[in-house]
């Protein structure tokens, strides 16, 4: 019987090394990760990662689903920021179909995507605090994740696995309560984030635990194809929102924060600064929305945009389009397209090959957690076990995205 995961058994009674199975389920790892570590005292000598515990074969399932049914699959990749995945997928299909989106829809999308980025970074940064022993920060900032989820609830009805929007826009316009909640969030969140920073950024214990730990050079990070906050913490200013702007990100004025040494402290600072920048982007989007014509929440592409149910039952064209979309009969060009968005953890890419069938011929997700995580075991060598734990939290590896 083969075992996918190597189990070290030390038969040498003189050996000083201890084998530790960190995971698959371990309270300190926040997800299903197995790492078999060889320890010399508290230092890690070598480690082997095993992944795949929640592999659900999304790429295979996607080959059997019409485009609109793939959105719920993307929810379950990085489930801490589902809307980014949903919209990344919608934009991939829109790119394939050459759909031009109205500016208002782009701005609404930007608001939702930046809110999810904040939610994602809140999780990661508060968890770093939690793992270094500061439960207060975790409990304090986490309520704002709840507020973000309330906004999502107002827009699409769901909280975690949002299935937000449709190919071609949103299923309904934002209501007034949603805008009120966004404005309330923009007013309250900066105060709480400032307090959160006051608790951790100059905190002696926190700095001692994180500064200089798990340093990564630019060259190594690029060699291992790191993206997102991890790459930026090493000092490379690569952000898909800037290098390949999508959803009108070029209309916004924001900074891309970079670190210097790539250690855990830098990653924390980069994520914090990104939350400030996201707030800035949302504020700008709210201003831009005022000049846009109200009531536009989807592109005018009836052959690709799922019509509202009322119309399906009362209007022949809507019924026809509804039938064609649901049965996967839309006329999509036979082509292949790669579209990337800046997810919470880095470049989230969709590689879609369409052969004119009812479903994608092939769909591949370029998942940042999967690519980033491969360096965890090599970089843990020589590290203290407790440092490896916070290193893992600061990499923000999401099991759903890791295993797809």
Partner 1 sequence: MEETTINNDIHVKLTEKFGEKVTAVSEPYGLLTFVTYKDVIVNVLLHLKNELKFNFLTDITAVHYPGKDHGIAVVYHLNNMVERVRIRIKVFISEQDPTIPTATTVWKGANWMERETYDLFGVKFEGHPDLRRILNMDDLGVHPMLKQYPLEDPNRVDKKDEFFGR
The smaller minimum CB distance to partner 1, of residues 93 and 115, is found at 93
| Short-list 107, 69, 61, CA closest to 86 | 69
Minimum distance of partner 1 from residue 366's CB (angstroms)? 4
Minimum distance of partner 1 from residue 304's CB (angstroms)? 17
Minimum distance of partner 1 from residue 101's CB (angstroms)? 16
The smaller minimum CB distance to partner 1, of residues 199 and 242, is found at 242
Return the DSSP state at 333: -
Query: 293: cis peptide before it, omega within 30°?
Result: no
Minimum distance of partner 1 from residue 327's CB (angstroms)? 6
The answer to whether the beta carbons of residues 249 and 110 sit under 8 Å apart is: yes
β strands within 245-375, DSSP E: 335-342, 347-354, 362-366
The smaller minimum CB distance to partner 1, of residues 159 and 364, is found at 364
The smaller minimum CB distance to partner 1, of residues 208 and 355, is found at 355
The smaller minimum CB distance to partner 1, of residues 172 and 362, is found at 362
Residue ranges in contact with partner 1 by CB under 8 A: 1-4, 51-52, 55, 57, 59-61, 63-64, 95-96, 222-226, 236, 238, 243-244, 327-329, 335-338, 340, 347, 349, 351, 353, 356-358, 361-362, 364, 366, 370-371, 373-374, 403-404
What angle, 0 to 180 degrees and rounded to 10, lies between the N-to-C axes of helices 176-200 and 264-291?
150
> Token match 């006329």: residue?
331
* 49 bridge partner residues: 35
The smaller minimum CB distance to partner 1, of residues 253 and 331, is found at 331
Minimum distance of partner 1 from residue 73's CB (angstroms)? 13
Q: Please state, in angstroms and rounded to a whole number, the distance separating the CA atoms of residues 299 and 288.
A: 18
> Token match 């940042």: residue?
368
Minimum distance of partner 1 from residue 339's CB (angstroms)? 8
Minimum distance of partner 1 from residue 403's CB (angstroms)? 6
| Short-list 208, 196, 231, 28, CA closest to 125 | 196
Minimum distance of partner 1 from residue 394's CB (angstroms)? 19
Q: Please state, in angstroms and rounded to a whole number, the distance separating the CA atoms of residues 32 and 238.
A: 29
Minimum distance of partner 1 from residue 162's CB (angstroms)? 25
Element (H, E) at 255: none
For residues 271-299, one letter each, b for 16 or more C-beta atoms within 10 angstroms of the residue's C-beta and e for the rest, the string is bbbbbbbbbbbbbbbeebbeeeeeebbbb
The answer to whether the beta carbons of residues 395 and 376 sit under 8 Å apart is: yes
Minimum distance of partner 1 from residue 2's CB (angstroms)? 4
| Short-list 371, 359, 369, CA closest to 394 | 369
The answer to whether the beta carbons of residues 385 and 37 sit under 8 Å apart is: yes
Minimum distance of partner 1 from residue 188's CB (angstroms)? 37
The smaller minimum CB distance to partner 1, of residues 150 and 329, is found at 329
Residue 315's CB is within 10 A of a number of other CB atoms, namely 14
The smaller minimum CB distance to partner 1, of residues 150 and 336, is found at 336
The answer to whether the beta carbons of residues 233 and 78 sit under 8 Å apart is: no
Tokens of 263: 């250690």
Task: Find the Cα–Cα–Cα–Cα dihedral 69, 71, 73, 76, rounded to 10°.
Answer: -150
The smaller minimum CB distance to partner 1, of residues 110 and 404, is found at 404
Q: Please state, in angstroms and rounded to a whole number, the distance separating the CA atoms of residues 219 and 340.
A: 22
The smaller minimum CB distance to partner 1, of residues 96 and 113, is found at 96
Return the DSSP state at 25: B
The smaller minimum CB distance to partner 1, of residues 140 and 224, is found at 224
């Amino acid at each position: 019987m083969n075992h996918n995961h190597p189990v070290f058994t030390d038969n040498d009674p003189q050996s000083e090394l201890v084998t530790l199975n960190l995971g698959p389920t371990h309270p300190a790892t926040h997800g299903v990760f197995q790492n078999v570590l060889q320890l010399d005292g508290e230092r890690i000598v070598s480690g082997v990662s095993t992944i795949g515990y929640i592999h659900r074969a999304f790429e295979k399932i996607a080959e059997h689903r019409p485009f609109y049914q793939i959105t719920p699959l993307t929810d379950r990749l990085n489930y801490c920021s589902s809307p980014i995945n949903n919209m990344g997928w919608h934009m991939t299909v829109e790119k394939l179909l050459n759909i031009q989106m109205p500016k208002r829809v782009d701005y609404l999308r930007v608001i939702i995507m930046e809110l999810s980025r904040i939610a994602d970074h809140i999780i990661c940064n508060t968890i770093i605090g939690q793992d270094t022993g500061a439960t207060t920060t975790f409990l304090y900032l986490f309520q704002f994740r709840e507020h973000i989820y309330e906004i999502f609830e107002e827009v699409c009805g769901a909280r975690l696995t949002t299935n937000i929007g449709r190919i071609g826009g949103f299923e309904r316009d934002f209501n007034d309560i949603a805008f009120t909640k966004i404005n309330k969030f923009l007013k309250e969140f900066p105060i709480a984030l400032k307090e959160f920073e006051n608790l951790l950024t100059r905190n002696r214990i926190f700095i001692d635990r994180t500064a200089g730990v798990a340093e990564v050079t630019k060259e190594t990070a690029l060699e291992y194809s790191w993206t997102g906050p991890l790459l930026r913490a090493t000092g490379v200013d690569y952000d898909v929102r800037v290098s390949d702007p999508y959803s009108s990100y070029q209309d916004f004025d924001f900074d891309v924060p970079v670190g210097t040494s790539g250690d855990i402290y830098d990653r924390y600072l980069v994520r914090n600064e990104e939350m400030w920048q996201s707030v800035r982007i949302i504020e700008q989007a709210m201003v831009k929305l005022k000049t846009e014509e109200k009531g536009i929440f989807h592109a005018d592409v009836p052959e690709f945009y799922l019509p509202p149910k009322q119309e399906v039952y009362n209007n022949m064209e809507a019924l026809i389009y509804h039938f064609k979309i649901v049965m996967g009969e839309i006329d999509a060009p036979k082509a292949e397209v790669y579209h990337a968005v800046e997810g919470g953890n880095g470049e989230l890419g969709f590689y879609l090959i369409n052969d004119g069938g009812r479903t994608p011929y092939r769909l591949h997700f370029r998942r940042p957690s999967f690519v980033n995580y491969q360096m965890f075991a090599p970089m843990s060598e020589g590290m203290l076990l407790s440092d490896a734990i916070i290193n893992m939290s600061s990499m923000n590896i999401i099991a759903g995205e890791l295993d797809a």
